[in-house]
Amino acid sequence: MRRDLIASLIGVLVGLALSWLVLATAQGGNRTPDPVTWGHAPTPAAQSTVFGVVALMWSAGCGGGAQIALDPGRYEMGTCTMGGGDEVTVAVFAPGAAQSGWVDSMRQFGAVVVEGDRWAVASLTATAPAEFAAAVPN
């Protein structure tokens, strides 16, 4: 029952974060140019790994990582499970993107957040974000 509640809360947090990002995008702002393509469009896999959220989750040893949202040129977001079974939400941002807004949104809903250079990790479990951050290679 407790795990279901936590999963539901994480789902709500992710939904709210996505809503915030959609609103922030709709209001305009600086847009990072699309990646250069050399005569052909990039594959869907290449488009979804511009910032490497899946690679970041894998490098931290976070299991079952899956990308759950992206805005090409601005951010990628995914979820994965740490070794102790705690689920985390990870976001990787373009330079100058709204990382602080995402972090603030997650904290408003009770998530514990740890930030890195152009990435952040959030969870409702106090130790999971620190465990993730410690596992990210330098």
Question: Residue 13 corresponds to which tokens in the numbers above?
Answer: 């947090």
Give residue-wise pLDDT tens across range 47-69: 344 568 888 899 899 998 888 88
Look at residue 43 and tell me if it is in a domain.
no
pLDDT at res. 3: 58
Q: How many domains does the chain have?
A: 1
- Per-residue pLDDT tens for 65-97? 888 888 877 888 999 999 899 999 999 998 878
Residue 71 lies inside a defined structural domain of this protein: yes
**Given this model, what pLDDT does residue 36 score?**
36
Predicted TM-score of the model (pTM) = 0.64
Range of the domain at 8: 2-27+49-135
The answer to whether residues 120 and 90 touch, using CB atoms and an 8 Å cutoff, is yes
Going by their DSSP bridges, the two strands 119-123 and 112-116 should be labelled as antiparallel
